[in-house]
Amino acid sequence: MYYGMGYGMFMDPTYVLVLIAALIALAASGYCTSTMKRYRSGGRTSGITKEYAAKGQR
């Protein structure tokens, strides 16, 4: 019985779509991680402390 439409027994064109989706997910994860590291390290642009902001005084 012939299966695969010329792609062989284990090669399926769907694998290409899964690989592209995995690469996009990996890139998005790296972007989120780098953004979190930047802001976790104290990257405040307003210049106020977190204690001052928590009190709600401006």
**The model's pTM:** 0.54
pLDDT in tens, 11-41: 777 888 999 999 999 999 999 999 888 877 6
- Mapping DSSP to helix (H, G, I), strand (E, B) and coil, where does residue 27 land? helix
pLDDT in tens, 35-57: 888 877 665 566 777 777 778 76
Compute the chain's Rg from CA coordinates. 24
Look at residue 2 and tell me whether its pLDDT is greater than 80.
Answer: no
Q: CA separation (Å) from 15 to 5, 20, 22, 25, 57?
A: 14, 9, 10, 15, 55
Task: Give the C-alpha separation, 41 to 32, whole Å.
Answer: 14
Q: Which residue has the higher pLDDT, 10 or 36?
A: 36
